[in-house]
């Protein structure tokens, strides 16, 4: 069962894909010493690190939330049919994401709100789909919440470095068409989604990067987006990924929010963890340790 309940909120895991990312630990978290990975190896293999090939494993997925009568989709993975010249493994995908969403009882027209925690290519993909050669919003009735800072930063008109990089084409095919359709709502600093959910800025991974705090009844959760990329970062929160724009800021934000999760017994739901995908953590010395994994079945 890919579904759990937190207070009055139902959380469903919707998979796009999972498996090896094609990067070694050193490529994935630059500067992370091999001894850190060795020390955590038993916890990481096989869900988060290949047993034989030393390749990092991740998942691409959305969290579908039912809260106060609305259906809310958190992050929209890589998407189908998208031209991704810099990342051959993501180029022109044809995956059953919408079938997985349907299996969760959700049709595209049922989605009320899409939250892009940030505007990286692997978090905006299903914002749009290809219809008669045009990119159209996949979720015709949804408002799409996007961080204003990322909306400005990832616009290629403002940022010539995007050409040739991982995020090439993503703004044009997955952000701009939704904006043109009048479905984008920009926010900054903090945004109350409803009585259970609150978006807050979590800068570092990208300038506008954000996370969602859940508080419902006595339950707490942190939809962490790309605050972290591998469970290794629980014990080693000062290692950032190669995809983090400002690693020092990302490290600081990671420590603060992991501290909040530990203090509040919050379930942590990052965007890219394979295996059980969610976890609980506790303080340990100057960093953190894993208390247990969430109730989702292992991929």
Return the number of the residue (154 or 196) whose C-beta is nearest Zn ion: 154
Buried b / exposed e over 91-128, threshold 16 CB at 10 Å, is eebebebbebbeebebebebbbbbbbbbbbbbbbbbbb
Return the number of the residue (150 or 226) whose C-beta is nearest Zn ion: 226
16 binds Zn ion (CB under 5 A): no
Percent helix, percent strand, percent coil in the chain, to nearest 5: 25, 30, 45
Site string for Zn ion, 189-228 (x = CB under 5 A): -------------------------------------x--
Please report, as residue ranges, which positions from 69 to 128 form the binding site for Zn ion (by CB under 5 A).
122
Q: How far is CA 100 from CA 72, 190, 195, in A?
A: 15, 31, 28
Return the number of the residue (219 or 231) whose C-beta is nearest Zn ion: 231
Number of CB atoms found within 10 A of residue 290's CB: 16
Return the number of the residue (62 or 196) whose C-beta is nearest Zn ion: 62
Return the number of the residue (216 or 253) whose C-beta is nearest Zn ion: 253
User: Can you spell out the DSSP letters for 115-147?
Assistant: E-SS--HHHHGGGEEEETTEEEESSTT-EEEEE
Q: How far is CA 123 from CA 4, 78, 273, in A?
A: 22, 6, 14
Least distance in Å: CB of 226 to Zn ion?
4
Least distance in Å: CB of 77 to Zn ion?
9
The answer to whether the peptide bond before residue 94 is cis (omega within 30 degrees of 0) is: no
Least distance in Å: CB of 45 to Zn ion?
22
Least distance in Å: CB of 63 to Zn ion?
13
Least distance in Å: CB of 117 to Zn ion?
9
Least distance in Å: CB of 109 to Zn ion?
26
By CB under 5 A, how many residues form the interface with Zn ion? 2
| Interface with Zn ion (CB under 5 A) | 122, 226
């Amino acid at each position: 069962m890919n579904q759990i309940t937190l207070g009055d909120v139902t959380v469903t895991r919707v998979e796009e894909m999972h498996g090896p990312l094609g990067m070694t630990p050193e490529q994935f978290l630059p500067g992370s010493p091999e001894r850190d990975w060795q020390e955590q190896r038993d916890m990481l293999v096989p869900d988060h690190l290949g047993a034989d090939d030393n390749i990092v494993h991740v998942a691409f997925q959305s969290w579908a939330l039912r809260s106060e009568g609305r259906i809310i989709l958190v992050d929209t993975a890589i998407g189908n049919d998208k031209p991704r010249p810099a990342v051959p493994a993501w180029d022109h995908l044809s995956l059953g994401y919408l079938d997985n969403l349907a299996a969760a009882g959700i049709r595209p027209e049922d989605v009320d709100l899409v939250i892009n925690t940030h505007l990286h290519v692997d978090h905006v993909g299903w914002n749009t789909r290809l219809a008669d050669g045009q990119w159209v919003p996949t979720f015709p009735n949804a408002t799409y919440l996007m961080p204003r800072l990322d909306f400005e930063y990832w616009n290629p008109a403002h940022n010539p470095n995007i050409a040739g990089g991982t995020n090439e084409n993503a703004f044009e095919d997955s952000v701009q068409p939704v904006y043109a359709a009048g479905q984008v709502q920009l926010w900054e600093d903090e945004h109350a989604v409803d009585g259970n959910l609150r978006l807050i800025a979590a800068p570092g991974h990208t300038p506008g990067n954000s996370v969602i705090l859940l508080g419902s009844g006595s339950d707490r959760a942190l939809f962490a987006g790309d605050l972290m990329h591998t469970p290794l970062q629980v014990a080693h929160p000062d290692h950032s990924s190669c995809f983090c724009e400002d690693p020092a800021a990302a490290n600081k934000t990671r420590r603060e929010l992991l501290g909040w999760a530990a203090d509040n017994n919050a379930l942590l739901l990052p965007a890219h963890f394979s295996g059980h995908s969610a976890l609980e953590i506790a303080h340990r010395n100057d960093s953190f340790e894993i208390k247990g994994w969430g109730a989702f079945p292992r991929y």
